[in-house]
Amino acid sequence: MKKITVFILALSLALSLCACSKASRIPSLAEIAENGAEWGGEKIRQVQGCTLADLEKAWGEANGELPGEYAYFWKVDDTTSVNVYYHRNAEIEHITVTSADDQQEPVPVTPDFQPAQMSLAQVGGSSFDLSEENARAIQQILDAGSWVPDATDCASDYMLTFDDRTIYYHSDCGTFNEQLEQSDQSLRLSDAERETVNRIIQAVIPHDLIPNAPIEISDVFQMEHKMGSCRGESMNTVYEEYRASPIDKGLLCLEHGEITTPYFCYPVNAEPIGFEGCIMYCFLPEYGEMVFACNPESCADQNVYPLAANFEDFIRLILACGTANPVEQIVWMDKSKFEEHMANEEKVLTDEQKAAVQQLQRELDLLPMEDPFEYVKAIQKDFDGSKVQYSDDYFEVTGIENPKGTATPDQPLFEFEPVTIEVHKNSGAEKP
């Protein structure tokens, strides 16, 4: 009969956030083995405020990980193990000491943490399921945070849904707002937590195909919601920062310039972003912040097509693909062709181009798009191009009927002056 004595050496969940100043504050594993249960009580306070890294400095690398991802164990001897459970920020939550008459692996006190199935969406937009890893990271932040009564007045641009809960989030100030049955509550994140959540959002959501309409959050929280930013930043700011950057835009296949040769497919009101030969990347006023490609030599059955919902996403696509070229090519490719194209692009990218992309990422502080191919395909699926303002040349070249009608009435291609032919019979002529 195995005799197992488990000493629960609980630490307060409200431990100081400051780390141990010296690893020497932590008792040695030998001391724990020698004193056993007597090590509890006041002595456990010696590790108050310490982190997992502090324990590793004092005890060395852990012997293994307990089932679940937030606990490790150190073997003191053949019959004793010290088990450490910790928060997501590596601060110690509690410690147990497990001893037995013979060798036995430590038994975790708490069950494995299984995150809820979560979905994330822009307010008013399509939802995307989170991976188990991302769901775990967000749920740990929500569970460990200090929620306060009542909702905040800041705007929310994303919503998180799980376990019949809907929580709104504002990415700029890092605030969650939730309506409860009896009241509201809010959670303000630390800078590090906000960066974690925003990084997940940027990696998961390809943003919506069109700018989202504002949602009246007063229907949910009795407060007005409007799309915006606590810092007053906007998509125009990203574009202005890009334009002001000294980076050679040609290295990104976005040579700066104006329309000097109005190819037949260039919309009459296009606002150029840059050029790759005859390919123009631009904004079209009818579609807001969307970024388009206009290619008179397109391999697809269309010459004008969207690439990104906004300029920020367009830059993230370039960061993922190296230049704008692979992004523009997606319109006619399947996944295998795109992957093959990307492999070839990687071989031909110059050091200058790679350096330009790295500089662009540093200056704009953006992350590469996680799945460029799926993002662009989603943007282009069922796109309504009826508002594109083509010139008359476009309809003449393509043969597509001009919805505005022809500029001049139909005329014959060639016009001849009238010709009169007269036939005369000579009655007095002799037969040969």
What is the DSSP code string of 400-424? PPPTT--SS----S-----------
CA-nearest of 72, 114, 63 to 92 is 72
Q: Reduced to 3 states, what is the DSSP secondary structure of residue 17?
A: coil
Yes or no: say if 341 and 326 are a contact pair by the CB < 8 Å rule.
yes
Q: Secondary structure of the chain: what % helix, strand, coil (to 5)?
A: 35, 20, 50
CB-neighbour burial class of residue 418 (10 A; exposed 0-12, middle 13-18, buried 19+): exposed
CB-neighbour burial class of residue 392 (10 A; exposed 0-12, middle 13-18, buried 19+): middle
Per-residue pLDDT at 33? 62
Per-residue pLDDT at 185? 85
pLDDT tens string 107-134: 443 444 566 688 888 876 677 888 888 8
Cross-strand partners of 129: 119
Q: Reduced to 3 states, what is the DSSP secondary structure of residue 286?
A: helix
Yes or no: say if 26 and 20 are a contact pair by the CB < 8 Å rule.
yes
In eight-state DSSP terms, residue 289 is T
Residues 6+ apart with CB under 8 A from 76: 29, 30, 32, 33, 82
Per-residue pLDDT at 232? 35
pLDDT tens string 139-179: 888 888 888 877 777 677 888 888 888 898 888 888 888 88
Per-residue pLDDT at 419? 66
Residue 64: C-alpha distances to residues 4, 29, 259 (Å) = 20, 15, 64
Residue 132 to residue 121: CA distance in whole angstroms: 16
Structure tokens at 189: 């994140």
Which segments within 33-191 are labelled E, that is strand?
A: 64-65, 71-75, 80-86, 92-99, 119-122, 127-129, 148-149, 158-162, 165-170, 175-179, 184-188
Cross-strand partners of 85: 71, 94
Residues 6+ apart with CB under 8 A from 251: 323, 350, 352, 353, 356
Yes or no: say if 372 and 326 are a contact pair by the CB < 8 Å rule.
yes
* Residue with the two structure tokens 């020698």: 34
Residues 6+ apart with CB under 8 A from 114: none
Predicted TM-score (pTM) of the model is 0.45
Residues 6+ apart with CB under 8 A from 321: 327, 342, 345, 372
Q: Which residues of the chain fall below pLDDT 70?
A: 1-25, 32-51, 66-70, 85-94, 99-116, 124-125, 154, 206-236, 406-417, 419-420, 423-432
Pairing of strands 127-129, 5-10: unpaired
* Residue with the two structure tokens 């310039």: 257
Yes or no: say if 29 and 58 are a contact pair by the CB < 8 Å rule.
no
